[in-house]
DNA sequence: AAATCGTGGGC
DNA sequence: TGCCCAAGATT
């Protein structure tokens, strides 16, 4: 990409508009309440927010923080404790990785959350986005950050898109993020862009009329919805395994502190009016959950007993 | 490196 | 209703 996508003047104008908008209109979120920011809370929230709406995490974080008030407390959580506490946040493997991340920091970094982006990147459950987000939001380092909101904003801002799926590549987005990064304002800049992305520059039906940067945007008032899928035939798509996995984990959460036998699980899931679950398939799913350290299996009197892993 | 990893809400 | 989407990471 060329560096002259926007003139210096245009960049400054956008920076000022976005940062000013944020000063008066930023979302109030639990992980934004501490000044200076608490790196532990930033770490928690950023992992929780992966592929998950801010509104849900805003609800869940306070109770989680009460149960695990420190990095050390989180590091000591058992699988079962962390999975129970993770209720409603999805992608249960993330919960174990978060605990493993905390444990790694306690065991190898004196319990101090690293501020080095390359070290952060090596921790369990922390990838390119989250390492950058922590460096920027917790430690105010002037690094680029790209999430789905920022990628979508850049995609639309810089050229007129064909539809709401027309996006810059991941790589291009990071390059643009580096080029558009205002000096010394990574933190506020990227949080502002994420707010604007989630409030106005949404994937479908963007609200350009209310968007603070629509006057700078090549795609303003011009984003159209993408194809509504060729819709060939009913193509009864199979239910993804993760849906069954999620139902099983949730069932075990609800039967808190008890084990369940596999036949009961089969029966319970059947009653949810879903027909494609047979015994062998359930066994397969259970073994994968076991290998993920999410559940424990034991066979007693020829029946399989299932419980959350301790 | 394309697939897989939950869950809830919007339309 | 069924499909899409959401502060991505891992294998």
Give me the pLDDT at residue A256, please.
66
Give me the pLDDT at residue A231, please.
46
Helix axes A92-108, A39-48, angle to 10 degrees: 150
Q: Given this chain, do its domains A38-137 and A241-308 carry the same CATH topology?
A: no
Give me the pLDDT at residue A267, please.
77
Query: Cβ of residue A250 near strand C, that is under 7 Å?
Result: no
Rounded CA-CA distance A121/A127 in Å is: 5
Domain boundaries, chain A: 38-137, 241-308
Contact partners, residue A249, CB within 8 Å, separation at least 6: A83, A92, A289, A294, A295, A308
Query: Cβ of residue A291 near strand B, that is under 7 Å?
Result: no
The protein residue nearest nucleotide B7, judged by CA to C1', is A90
Kindly report the number of other CB atoms within 10 A of residue A22's CB atom. 20
Helix axes A39-48, A54-67, angle to 10 degrees: 130
State which fold the A241-308 domain adopts: Arc Repressor Mutant, subunit A (1.10.10)
The nucleotide minimizing the C1' distance to residue A91's CA is B6
Give me the pLDDT at residue A227, please.
64
The nucleotide minimizing the C1' distance to residue A203's CA is C5
* Chain C bases near protein Cβ (<7 Å): 3-10
Catalytic residue among A46, A66, A81, A272: A46
Report the number of secondary-structure helices (H) and strands (E) in chain A: 14, 3
Rounded CA-CA distance A85/A270 in Å is: 26
Rounded CA-CA distance A80/A293 in Å is: 10
Query: Cβ of residue A93 near strand B, that is under 7 Å?
Result: yes
Give me the pLDDT at residue A310, please.
94
Does domain A38-137 fall into CATH 1.10.340.30? yes
Query: Cβ of residue A251 near strand B, that is under 7 Å?
Result: no
Is A72 one of the annotated active-site residues of the chain?
Answer: no
Residue written as token pair 């009460």: A66
Give me the pLDDT at residue A255, please.
85
User: In tens digits, what is the pLDDT along chain A, a chain of 310 residues?
Assistant: 556 789 999 999 999 999 999 999 999 999 999 999 999 999 999 999 999 999 999 999 999 999 999 999 999 999 999 999 999 999 999 999 999 999 999 999 999 999 999 999 999 999 999 999 999 999 999 999 999 999 999 999 999 999 999 999 999 999 999 999 999 999 999 999 999 999 999 999 999 999 999 999 999 999 998 765 554 455 667 889 999 999 999 999 998 667 778 777 777 776 654 455 688 889 999 999 999 999 999 998 888 899 999 9
Give me the pLDDT at residue A232, please.
47
* Chain B bases near protein Cβ (<7 Å): 4-8, 11
Query: Cβ of residue A240 near strand B, that is under 7 Å?
Result: yes
Give me the pLDDT at residue A234, please.
56
CA of A99 to C1' of C6 (A): 23
Which pair of structure tokens corresponds to residue A195? 């707010």
Query: Cβ of residue A229 near strand B, that is under 7 Å?
Result: no
Which pair of structure tokens corresponds to residue A237? 């798509």
Give me the pLDDT at residue A3, please.
61
Which parts of A138-240 fold into alpha helices (H)?
148-158, 170-180, 186-199
């Amino acid at each position: 990409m060329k560096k002259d996508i926007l003139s210096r003047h245009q960049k400054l104008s956008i920076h000022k508009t976005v940062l000013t908008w944020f000063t008066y209109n930023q979302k109030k979120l639990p992980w934004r309440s501490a000044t200076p920011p608490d790196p532990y809370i930033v770490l928690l929230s950023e992992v929780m927010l992966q592929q998950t709406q801010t509104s849900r995490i805003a609800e869940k974080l306070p109770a989680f923080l009460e149960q695990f008030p420190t990095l050390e407390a989180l590091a000591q959580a058992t699988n079962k404790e962390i999975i129970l506490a993770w209720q409603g946040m999805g992608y249960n493997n993330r919960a174990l990785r978060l605990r493993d991340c905390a444990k790694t920091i306690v065991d190898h970094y004196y319990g101090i959350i690293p501020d080095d982006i390359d070290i952060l990147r090596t921790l369990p459950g922390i990838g390119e986005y989250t390492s950058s987000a922590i460096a920027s939001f917790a430690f105010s380092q002037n690094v680029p950050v790209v999430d789905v909101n920022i990628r979508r904003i850049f995609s639309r801002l810089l050229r007129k898109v064909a539809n709401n799926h027309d996006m810059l590549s991941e790589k291009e987005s990071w390059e643009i993020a580096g080029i558009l990064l205002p000096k010394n304002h990574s933190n506020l800049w990227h949080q502002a862009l994420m707010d604007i992305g989630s409030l106005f520059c949404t994937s479908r039906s963007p609200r350009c009329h209310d968007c603070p940067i629509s006057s700078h945007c090549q795609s303003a008032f011009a984003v159209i919805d993408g194809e509504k899928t060729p819709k060939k035939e009913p193509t009864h798509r199979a239910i993804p395994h993760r849906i069954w996995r999620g139902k099983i984990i949730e069932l075990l959460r609800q039967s808190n502190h008890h084990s369940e036998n596999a036949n009961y699980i089969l029966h319970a899931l059947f009653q949810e009016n879903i027909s494609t679950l047979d015994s062998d398939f359930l066994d397969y799913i259970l073994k994968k959950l076991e290998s993920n350290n999410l559940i424990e299996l034991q066979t007693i009197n020829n029946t399989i007993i299932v419980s959350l892993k301790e």
